Structure 1
Amino acid sequence: MKTIKAIHTASYHPIADLITYNPLPSRELRQIDPFIFLNHHGHQTYPKNNNGLPFGPHPHRGMETVTFILEGDIMHKDSGGHESVIEKGGIQWMTAGSGLIHAEVSSEQFKKEGGDLEILQLWVNLPAKHKMTKPKYKGLQKDEITHFDLEDGKISVQLISGDWNSHKGSFETISPLMMSTVYMKSGSTFTKTIPQEENVFFYVVRGEVQIQGERIPYRNLIEFNNDGDSLTVKASQDAVILLGHAKPFNEPLVAQGPFVMNTQQEIMQAYQDYQAGKFGTWED
């Protein structure tokens, strides 16, 4: 069994009127290679006639964003011509690659009617050889994503990418990567095989779980040692977790603002290219 190295509690960093917790990176943990950043927005309830999400047009290069919509919705638009509104239970996967501009805001309906909102965004690094890959975007609604049950329906797995048993995730990834959202009823247990050399991304979104007898409540990120080939998780309350794993790139990491590259020179080049209009044009 994989053993726990450390438990990292998310810190509170609100963005305008958006409740936001950030467990990665932190003072103690820079990354879980290739997972480099996580923001947990909400849970909160928006009133009618609200301003919605505050993420207007901004650039990215050198990484990917995976967005989990647990409550509410998100309206995506980017300089590559992609537009969508993804609702509760849906997932967005955007490969920034060589660079694009995108906005992530709430739909007009959500801003008018209000409602519950809980959204998480994970940044996944790209290896040096794929940093400048062509940008792409894919958004899927809940019923379009691979899902299956474990333990007679007490556990529901939404398989976003990679493989789990005989199931295949709904998103193709540039580098091999398993990512899932796992919904657990209190008292349920599962065991997942994970190669020893792969790094585990494990974040408790809701509820509480137990691993090797240690109780881990929501808004905590677990860092594991690379010392086993399986992981057993028990829900001590109804719980939701993000669970992923992948081989580390073991490459230099330089992250500044919206850009994630391998050298400071590449970061400077990204800013120059953005200012020169090489990330595409933005039209409202």
Structure 2
Amino acid sequence: MPAVRVDDLVHLPRLPQPGLGDQARPVWKITTAPQGFEGEGFPVRRAFAGIDLAHLDPFIMMDQMGEVEYAPGEPKGTPWHPHRGFETVTYMIDGVFDHQDSLGGGGTITNGDTQWMTAGAGILHIESPPEWLVESGGLFHGIQLWVNLPRAAKLSAPAYQDIRSGEVALLTTYDAGALVRVIAGSVGGHPGPGSTHTPMALAHVTVEPGARMDLPWTADFNALVYVLSGAGTVGRDQRPIRSGQTAVLGSGEYLTATANRTQESRSPKLDLIVVGGRPIREPLAWAGPFVMNSKAEVIQAFEDFQHGRFGHIPG
């Protein structure tokens, strides 16, 4: 898993131990992601399927893309498609993805990079493997997270953040048992590079076999822990959790997870996506690529798209 690795964790800034009286968040629910296909046919796991939107707020959905080893000619992406009213966060763990949009933006992301796209008032974009990767084949693995925008920002100007792997804040736990990559928000007072409309935090955490992660977490944020690979326990109640499962956590001052001492050879460590934010608590109307506050706004988004108001596909 190439996404930012550190050989010796002892030299990284350390997160503090939980304080006296600090409570670990309990587990409310554990779900198992169903598998499906997206875009032109690349495999995904729907990480948040089966979780009430009220518990996800300010998030809409998250897909684990891959992990898949493509043969030559097999890599796939998405066709051109519209978005309005939210942000897409594409974090590439293994492989390469090209992005292009109707406003002339885009770029290439690879191992450990993140593309943060604020769709805002509306944009057309496409995500695809570069031509050389289609010819050669290769590993493809990442996540895409959809973050809702508050009403006041839904029609903001579209924007990009290109977050390179070298910009991510790297931390370890107090006993150097886990690597914490902070992509956005702040964890234990250490900010990541991503700028967000809605207060939130996003981290990729790798826990060594047998080690325990205690992660300080903002008290008024919700908390979701998704297992990319490996197995262990999560929460104050030490509930078993494995690859492809999501834990919805309750209130408390920190998150906790422990990696099993013995892991599968394909997944030698416990790899987690940890995400949470301050709920927006506004009405939600979601239809396909549009996330708005009312049905009328969604209908308007479809009409604007059909009339070319999101821009045009470059020639």
TM-score (norm 2): 0.84
Measured against aligned partners, the alpha-carbon deviations of 1:16-54 in whole angstroms (never above 9, x if no partner) come to: 54221113243x53351001111112111101133x233
Match of 1:22 in 2: 46
Matched, 1:117 2:140: yes
Verify: 1:281 aligned to 2:312, yes or no: yes
Kindly provide the amino acid, as one letter, of the partner of residue 102 in structure 2: S
Q: Which residue of structure 1 lines up, in the alignment, with residue 274 of structure 2?
A: 243
Deviation at 1:165, TM superposition (A): 2.5
**1:201-238 Cα shifts (integer Å, max 9, x gaps):** 22111111312321100101111223x22221111141
Unaligned runs of 5+ in 1: none
> Residues of 2 paired with 1:202 and 1:172: CA distance?
21
Matched, 1:256 2:295: no
Written as runs of structure 1 = structure 2, the 5 A alignment for 1:136-175 is 136-151=159-174, 153-175=176-198
User: Does 2:226 correspond to 1:186?
Assistant: no
Amino acid at match of 1:251: E
Is the contact between residue 151 and residue 189 of structure 1 (CA under 8 Å) also seen in structure 2? no
Match of 1:266 among 288, 297, 308: 297
Q: What is the TM-score of this pair, normalised by structure 1?
A: 0.93
Deviates more, 1:12-21 or 1:160-169: 12-21
* Aligned residue in 2 for 1:53: 76
Query: CA 1:17/1:276 → structure 2, altered by over 3 Å: closer, same or farther?
Result: closer
Residue 143 of structure 1, CA deviation = 2.0
Per the alignment, residue 215 of structure 1 pairs with 240
Of 57, 62, 74 in structure 2, the residue corresponding to residue 33 of structure 1 is: 57
> CA contact under 8 A between 1:80 and 1:136: conserved in structure 2?
no
Q: Which moved more, 1:209-218 or 1:254-263?
A: 209-218
1:177 maps to what in 2? 200
Where structure 2 has 5 or more consecutive residues not aligned to the other structure, the ranges are: 1-23, 264-268
Report if aligned partners of 1:259, 1:267 keep a CA contact under 8 Å in 2.
yes
SS of residue paired to 1:19: strand
TM-superposition CA deviations, 1:58-108 (whole Å, max 9, x none): 000000011111111110111121121111121111111111011011112
Quick check: 1:230 aligned with 2:261? Answer: no
Superposed, which structure 2 residues align to 1:20-99 within 5 Å? 20-26=44-50, 28-30=51-53, 32-50=56-74, 52-99=75-122
TM-superposed deviation, 1:144: 3.0
The share of aligned pairs that are identical, in percent, is 31
The alignment's C-alpha RMSD in Å is 1.6
- Any conservation in 2 of the 1:76–1:102 contact (CA below 8 Å)? yes
In the alignment, what sits opposite 2:11?
A: none
Any conservation in 2 of the 1:62–1:261 contact (CA below 8 Å)?
yes
1:107 equivalent to 2:138? Answer: no
